[in-house]
Amino acid sequence: MKLAMIGSGYVGLCTGIGFAAKGHDVTCVDTDAPKVSMINRGEVPFYEKGLQENLRKFLRKKTFRAKVGMRDVPAVDAVFVCVGTPADKKGRIDLSYVAAAAQETGNYLASIPSYCVVVVKSTVVPGTTESVVVPALEKHSGKKIGQFGVCSSPEFLKEGKALDDFMHPNYVVIGESDKKSGNVLKKLYAGFRAPVIRTNIRTAEMIKYAANAFLATKISFINEIGNMCRQRGIDAYTVADAIGNDKRIGRLFLDAGCGFGGSCFTKDLSALISSADAYDPRLLEEVLQLNIRQRKRIVDMLKGKMQLKNKRIAVLGLSFKPDTDDIRDAAAVDVIQYLRDEGAQVVAYDPKAMENTRKVHPDITYADSAREALAGADACLILTEWDEFKKLGEKDFASMKNRIIVEGRRVLSGVAGSEGICW
């Protein structure tokens, strides 16, 4: 099939390259001309395992390209709306990019004679496609829904594993305005071995939020248990390993630590909570609050052991999880701020995320290696479970001034003086 992705960010590019790998012809569209040129040169504007090689492969095969705007995109079978849905200052969803993409798609629909399905992949609160996207499509195309199709098909891609998640989804959701539009997506996903859930559009939109809210809740749950474990000298990981054997619970997403970060969980929970109108979703509010407290908790643990003023604190790990340079909502960004508020001197190291962190915290020191960060440090915090930190041993910590190590992620094994936030 011929496909277009509006928005060449993380979701648009991963989905587009994924569909190209499945044999489709894909055009990724963006408003940012330098980004479009970069993609056409075979460079991915962010780090994601395997993406660059595949981008280059399909550029060479001429089954993939990027363009500024939809104007000269030949008729496609489906347009995927993959633009960002950031949070505004109050945590509510900002739909300005979605509205702009709907307008552009409407104009495009006006220019093509063939049937085309508009698929909303952007994460939007239930009801948005019907109340914002469809009216804009009708207005700018001069056509009525039915003359074009509309679907909601949320993505569940994890950073660092996006292509693999794309190729092997746990399930595929098709929220459809009518059978005809859903059938186009059904055909597109026919080659995937995954259960397909066909439903209405607002249910599909809710499924995405329910999935992210559940995963975030699972993490805050184990962090609460972990905090109580630590008080009692119990290892939260042994508890998680045990209860994870119960199929109703499952072991995944029960790694206790300094909490969740990334581009989705906090943003999506906040958007869902603030869209709840007359209902007060207290469980989800507490999931977010506990996550914020977890970041403070790790600094409080240090404060319980030492004065932080003018002390050299090594922070190992800046990205919100390993194998990415993404620092959006990363624990490290807040933790560094708390340390600075206490007058500490932060020396940070991360294998991939230092360039991005420098934009937020330009005034701290960045080291070229974990060893360099640790030399002369009064204490060390570990905030991302990069593989290279798992290899750190006694020798690497020998140059610390004081052996105070607090792990926000379970990384080290048998290093004297290390303790965990939840174990």
Q: List contacts with ligand UDX (CB under 6 A).
A: 155-159, 212, 215, 219, 253-255, 257, 259-265, 320-321
CB of 123 to ligand UDX, least distance (A): 8
Rg (CA), the chain: 23
Closest CA to 87 of 77, 99, 79, 95: 95
Q: How far apart are CA 308 and CA 335, in angstroms?
A: 13
Dig out the tokens for 274 from the structure: 């603030």
Which residues, 6+ apart, have CB-to-CB distance to 276 below 8 Å?
Answer: none
CB of 218 to ligand UDX, least distance (A): 7
Q: Which of 28, 258, 264, 422 is catalytic?
A: 264
Between residues 115 and 253, which has the closer beta carbon with respect to ligand UDX?
Answer: 253
Q: Please classify residue 330 by burial: count the beta carbons closer than 10 Å to its beta carbon, then call 0-12 exposed, 13-18 middle and 19+ buried.
A: buried
Between residues 87 and 375, which has the closer beta carbon with respect to ligand UDX?
Answer: 87
Residue matched to tokens 């360099």: 372
CB of 237 to ligand UDX, least distance (A): 10
CB of 240 to ligand UDX, least distance (A): 8
CB of 262 to ligand UDX, least distance (A): 3
Which DSSP symbol is given to 145?
A: B
What's the Cα-to-Cα distance from 69 to each of 1, 73, 237, rounded to whole Å?
20, 8, 49
Between residues 110 and 197, which has the closer beta carbon with respect to ligand UDX?
Answer: 197
Closest CA to 23 of 189, 223, 175: 189
Between residues 36 and 222, which has the closer beta carbon with respect to ligand UDX?
Answer: 222
Q: Taking the alpha carbons of 42, 44, 47, 52 in that order, is the dihedral positive or negative? A: negative
196-199 and 64-68 beta bridge pairing: unpaired
264 is catalytic: yes
Do you know the residue count of the chain? 423
Between residues 12 and 106, which has the closer beta carbon with respect to ligand UDX?
Answer: 12
b/e map 257-291, b = 16+ CB within 10 Å = bbbbbbbbbbbbbbbbbbbeeeeeeeebeebbebb
CB of 252 to ligand UDX, least distance (A): 7
Q: How far apart are CA 351 and CA 318, in angstroms?
A: 9
Between residues 49 and 140, which has the closer beta carbon with respect to ligand UDX?
Answer: 49
Catalytic residues: 264
